[in-house]
Amino acid sequence: MRRQNELIKNIDWLSIFLYLVLVFMGWLNIYAAVYNDNHSSILDITQKYGKQLIWIGASGILCFFILLTDSKFFTAFSFILYGLTIGLLVSVLVFGKEVHGARSWFELGGIRIQPAEFAKFATALAIANIMSRHGFKMMRFTSLFQVGIILLIPMSLIILQNDTGSALVYSSFLLVMYREGLHGSILLLVFIIVALFIFTLLYSSLTVLIIIIFSTLIAFLYYRQNKQELYQVVGFLGCCILFLLFIRWLFVWNILNERIVLYSYLATNLVGIYYIYKRKMQHILLVILASWLCIGASITVDYAFDKLQPHQKDRINNLLGIKNDPTGAGYNVNQSKIAIGSGGFSGKGFLQGTQTKFNFVPEQSTDFIFCTVGEEWGFVGSTVVILLFLAFILRLITLAERQRSDFSRIYGYSVACILFFHVIINIGMTIGLAPVIGIPLPFFSYGGSSLWAFTILIFIFLRLDANRLQVFS
Amino acid sequence: MNKFTHRKAVVSGLMIFVFVIYILQLFNLQVLDGSYKLLAINNSQRIETQFPARGLIYDRHNKLLVYNQAAYDLMVIPRQIKAFDTTELTSILGITPEFLKRNLDKCKKYSRYKASVLVSQITDSKYARLQEKLYKYSGFFIQTRTLRKYNVAHSADVFGYVGEVSQSQIDKDSTYTAGDYIGINGLEKSYENILRGKKGEKILLVDNHNRVMGSYKNGEHDIPAVVGGNLTTTLDIELQEYAYQLMQNKKGGIIAIEPATGEILLKVSSPGYDPQLLVGLERGENYRTLQQNPHLPLFDRTVTATYPPGSIFKTIQGLIGLQEKVITPATMYECHYGNSFNGQFMKCHGHDSPLDLKGGIQNSCNPYFVNVFRKVLENNKYSNVREAYGKWRDYVLEFGLGQCICPDFMNESSGSIPTQEYYDKVLRTQNWFYTYIMSLSIGQGELLITPLQMANIVTCIANRGYYITPHIVRPTDEKHKEQIQRHNLSISKAHFDIIADAMEEAVKKGTARIAACDSISVCGKTGTIQNPSGLDHSAFFAFAPKENPRIAILVYVENGKWGASYGAPIAGLLIEKYLKGKISPRKKGLEKRMLESNLITPQPPEKQQPQESEI
């Protein structure tokens, strides 16, 4: 009794409230998205909204059990849970059912279960476990290696299932690692690689090169604040750019001689290196190395992009606005933007959406559920949903920070970051700000696996949080 | 506490930053950029034009003449087309792939977003087959239209026909859009505003496969189509039918008017054609065939064609002479197979001599009316012949000649009564001498009059001095009623009585005996019109009965030789049919001869074109 009273007292009711509000809104929107006059009862279990209600009910039972479980169980059994889900991920490769080209589903009596969804909380537990161990230092190689292994196993298994989207979710652990001491430059590096990737695909080599030169300059300024060195570096890079422009004037610019520009840049650098070697100016060498690294990354992106599957290429191209083909690869995003855009300031009203109801938006009850929100509830409704998610995530971070145990804090951050990744990628793709990666919007997208996985993810943390006072780190 | 706590702010800040960007993008999409609302409407709404059925056309006894039947157009919205089975579509519709491609390109050129007609007027059976398969064809749908259907196989010149609206008409009147139907000729054209009705609009919601999901807001914003107004014509369709039979294999026109009302009872342009020929997919082909027919069935020989009136014009001559007091009914003139006028000879045929006015009309004596005309022109009241001619012309115009008199026909010619200026130019002097223009006195020369105008002359005589604007459609509104007016002539009634008596005599014992009907007093006048390019034309006009006339009729038969050979007998039969309802046994032989006579095929193939006036 006492334990239960304490649970009721210590559990974070604000999070539970936000969870319930989001789940309820999600259910209403699924109803709106698949609504038709023949099955207008919201409780009709032959329809998706009826089924979703069953999944919601089942989630309630899950919450109940999780909250009754001793919080030590999650610490102690984190690796066993992790091992179990890895086993599931392996077996789904063998026994799984292929849906939309991805072999990531178990089918049990008409109900489909996606193990990748459940791998998230198990991985989060395992990561929290390993990172909270005594002597774990984020920037130590062995530590990084351990974390890398734990992340890479489920990621590669999920990629093998041909579900790249779900695998990318694990990149959200980078933020968790940053919080736990990962050097900021690594996060920055990842950011630069992503930026390079986008720039390489968007702009010509010359532009990318100039961007690279300037960003290395900025990076240099950030780390070395020495006036004399600064002048030398600026002078050197200025020479490089002048030389590039001269080359450009010499040859008429076209795709073919982009290479020439690149080679001439490298040649100028080599001349520079000889000069540096004589004058012993290592700082310029640093800049050159950085720019070469970027060029290398840029070429790699070009090369790697060629190797991507056509639909992935199309989706990325479309996101970056390279191929504007609204009826082809960009059809989904285009229709989704039309649906959301047509909602206007205050929306068309509940069940009044035409774009989602008449199937103009694909996957309108799963990946593109946010279109229904945008169309029927307008800017007001979409903003409310986004702010609710933000509030929920920030609340989770606040909760994580108040934990005494490292395990709970790290797990809390994992929950917040996974949630964040899902929300920004899912909403981002519907409004044309993120590539079309097929991952669900938490609590909104139709499907039991996703709802249960997020429920488990969150309620384990709420259970840990309710117990925070009994833990001494 | 661990040393990286400050990173909470970095992580939270990053998250807030991303969410703020998302809200800004949402604001841009949903509030700033209005184009998505339009795109959404384009996606999910299809505006279906509701075409009203055209108004029906009835005869004077409320017999239905023109009505509608359903037809189906295959419409296409080029932007919504997805790859489809062209072979299947072409085989269902029975069209060639080239035809499909050509039309599709045309539709794309018109608009990629708006619907346009791909294949028009699909038959019921093809429609049924197409309907089953249509779900497979994204961007295609069926639009129901109506086509004209006729209960009679003649009178196409009255009804006219309906066709697709032209670009210049669309530019002029924005209520039309490409593919709409519009009256092109006849009543369909002149009463387009009444017949067309008003187009409606139905807003339908469609899904991504272009399937109709229901109406938008339960049809709250739909505009129902308004069915076109009906027309009641003044035609007696039975009489019309009979007239067409009599005119078989003859070229010419018949107009009959109810004198008291100006209602046109009969309007026959022969050869005619079946109006049904110009409906449906074969219209173009049929139209070309009709156009190439040497007998010009498309040419309206009642209101467009103009002819010299010939001897029937002598009635006007007599009336003007009496009104100008240059003759009296007792004025006598000599004639012996013609007469010489200052060296010019005017031929005539054998009859008693001398003749008074009645005798002149009864025997259609040419010199008599040259003399009358001379008296009119050389009247001392006027300073010269030219001025007297002006007065004479004013009288002639009062009969409705030289002008369009019927508001119902857009293709009406005004005909021509030459002006003084015209003769000044031709004669190269203002100092005229009557012999220069004396052929006018017997209805030859430069006079050009439509059969309708000729019928109007006899209407004036039947009414003893006035006519009501001839019309073929019973007025539907006040504005329309105002168009129909009484036109009084300045010639006094007594003079008309004299001419009517003379015309009665002409039928009783003169040139037009063949037009006589038992127990009906028919007043008529024959005309034989010299035709330089073939056999003379036969004309006859009459009214009956003499008192309270109920019908005034003109029959003009090209190459009919004498007024009495075709014009008079046909008019006589029509008068009897109209007034008595049947043909008396005595005239059956005549009727048979008229029905069987053929003035077209034995003719040499050279074109017999009536003169068209452009003056």
DSSP for B392-440 reads HHHHHHHTTTTS---TT-TT----B---HHHHHHHHT-SS--GGGGGGG
Q: How many CB atoms lie within 10 A of CB B128?
A: 12
Residue B290: CB partners within 8 Å, gap ≥ 6?
A: B273, B277, B297, B298
Residues of A in contact with B81 (CB under 8 A): none
- CB of B213 less than 8 A from some CB of A: yes
| Same domain assignment for residues A13 and A148 | yes
Q: Six-digit token pair at A131?
A: 């990172």
End-to-end CA distance of chain A: 26
Cβ proximity of B256 and B239 under 8 Å: yes
Interface test with B, best of A173, A334, A342 (most B CBs within 10 A): A342
Interface test with B, best of A36, A356, A358 (most B CBs within 10 A): A358
Based on the number of CB atoms within 10 Å of its own CB, is A278 exposed (0-12), middle (13-18) or buried (19 or more)?
exposed
Cβ proximity of B51 and B144 under 8 Å: yes
| Same domain assignment for residues A95 and A217 | no
Whose CA is closest to A369, among A279, A440, A285? A440
| Same domain assignment for residues A88 and A234 | no
Torsions phi, psi of B105, nearest 5? Answer: -65, -40
d(CA A95, CA B368): 119
Contact A360 B5 (CB under 8 A): no
> What's the mean pLDDT in B120-129?
83
* B195 min Cα distance to partner chain A (Å): 38
Residue B267 three-state SS? strand
End-to-end CA distance of chain B: 111
Please write the tens of the pLDDT for every residue from B444-500: 888 899 999 999 999 999 999 999 999 999 988 888 888 889 999 999 999 999 999
Residue A246: CB partners within 8 Å, gap ≥ 6?
A: none
Q: What is the pLDDT of residue A255?
A: 45
Interface test with A, best of B11, B16, B32, B203 (most A CBs within 10 A): B11
Contact B19 A383 (CB under 8 A): no
Please write the tens of the pLDDT for every residue from B563-573: 778 888 898 89
Interface test with B, best of A38, A171, A172, A390 (most B CBs within 10 A): A390
Contact B30 A341 (CB under 8 A): yes
Residue A11: CB partners within 8 Å, gap ≥ 6?
A: A67, A462, A465, A466
Q: What is the pLDDT of residue A256?
A: 46
Nearest by CB to residue A433, choosing from B25, B33, B35, is B25
Q: Does residue B223 register a pLDDT over 50?
A: yes
Cα B433 from chain centre: 41
**Span of A6-15, A287-296, A454-463 with lowest mean pLDDT:** A287-296
Nearest by CB to residue A397, choosing from B3, B8, B29, is B8
Nearest by CB to residue A386, choosing from B2, B22, B29, is B22
Please write the tens of the pLDDT for every residue from B333-351: 988 888 888 888 888 887 8
Task: For the sheet with B200-206, list strands across it.
Answer: B45-50, B200-206, B212-215
d(CA A127, CA A151): 8
d(CA B412, CA B420): 24
> What's the mean pLDDT in A339-366?
83
Q: Among A272, A307, A342, which residue terminates a domain?
A: A307
Interface pTM, i.e. ipTM: 0.83
Q: Does domain B47-210+223-232 have CATH number 3.50.50.60?
A: no
Residues of B in contact with A431 (CB under 8 A): 22, 25-26, 29
The pLDDT confidence band at residue A201, using thresholds 50, 70 and 90, is: low
Angle between helices A331-342 and B35-44 (to 10 degrees): 110
Q: What is the pLDDT of residue B319?
A: 92
* A45 min Cα distance to partner chain B (Å): 23
- Per-domain residue ranges for chain B? 47-210+223-232, 237-596
| R_g (Cα) of chain A, nearest Å | 26
B213 → chain A, closest CA residue: A358
* A159 min Cα distance to partner chain B (Å): 26
Cross-strand pairs, B454: none
- CB of B205 less than 8 A from some CB of A: yes
Please write the tens of the pLDDT for every residue from B588-613: 888 888 888 888 765 444 444 444 33
B212 → chain A, closest CA residue: A358
| Same domain assignment for residues A138 and A7 | yes
Q: What is the pLDDT of residue A90?
A: 93
The pLDDT confidence band at residue B555, using thresholds 50, 70 and 90, is: very high
Residue B375 three-state SS? helix
DSSP summary character for residue B179: T
The pLDDT confidence band at residue A33, using thresholds 50, 70 and 90, is: confident
- CB of B593 less than 8 A from some CB of A: no
Q: Does residue A79 register a pLDDT over 90?
A: yes
Torsions phi, psi of A238, nearest 5? Answer: -60, -45
Nearest by CB to residue A179, choosing from B7, B26, B36, is B7
Q: Does residue A250 register a pLDDT over 70?
A: no
Residues of B in contact with A383 (CB under 8 A): 23, 26
Residue A219 belongs to domain spanning: 189-307
| Same domain assignment for residues A77 and A172 | yes
Percent of chain B having pLDDT more than 70?
96
| Same domain assignment for residues A340 and A297 | no
The CATH class, in words, for B237-596 is alpha beta
Residues of A in contact with B4 (CB under 8 A): 179-181
Cross-strand pairs, B528: B538
Q: Does residue A226 register a pLDDT over 80?
A: no
Total domain count, chain A: 2
Angle between helices A258-279 and A205-223 (to 10 degrees): 30
Q: What is the pLDDT of residue B75?
A: 87
| Same domain assignment for residues A160 and A288 | no
Whose CA is closest to A200, among A110, A322, A29, A339? A322
Q: Is the peptide bond before A440 cis (omega within 30 degrees of 0)?
A: no
Q: Kindly report the average pLDDT of chain B as a whole number.
A: 86
* Strand bridging mode B200-206 / B212-215: antiparallel
Q: What is the pLDDT of residue A262?
A: 67
| Same domain assignment for residues A177 and A321 | yes
| Same domain assignment for residues A282 and A203 | yes
Residue A441 three-state SS? coil
Task: For the sheet with A97-99, list strands across it.
Answer: A97-99, A102-108, A111-113
d(CA B20, CA B38): 27
Q: Among A292, A307, A322, which residue terminates a domain?
A: A307
The pLDDT confidence band at residue B615, using thresholds 50, 70 and 90, is: very low
Cα A403 from chain centre: 25
Residue A443: CB partners within 8 Å, gap ≥ 6?
A: A19, A22, A23, A25, A26, A451, A454
Name the strand (E) or helix (H) holding B523. strand B523-529
Q: Does residue A231 register a pLDDT over 70?
A: yes
Q: What is the pLDDT of residue B565?
A: 81
Higher per-residue confidence, B249 vs B219:
B249
Which residue in this structure is represented by tokens 């039918």? B241
Q: How many CB pairs under 8 A join A and B?
A: 116
Contact B11 A424 (CB under 8 A): no
Output the pTM of the full model: 0.63
| Same domain assignment for residues A262 and A401 | no
The pLDDT confidence band at residue A3, using thresholds 50, 70 and 90, is: low
Which residue in this structure is represented by tokens 């990076």? A219
| Same domain assignment for residues A35 and A165 | yes
Please write the tens of the pLDDT for every residue from A169-198: 999 999 999 898 887 777 777 777 777 666
Residues of A in contact with B10 (CB under 8 A): 178
Residue B345 three-state SS? strand
d(CA B361, CA B415): 24
> What's the mean pLDDT in A265-292?
68
* B179 min Cα distance to partner chain A (Å): 29
Contact B11 A342 (CB under 8 A): no
Q: Kindly report the average pLDDT of chain A as a whole number.
A: 81
Q: Does residue A110 register a pLDDT over 80?
A: no
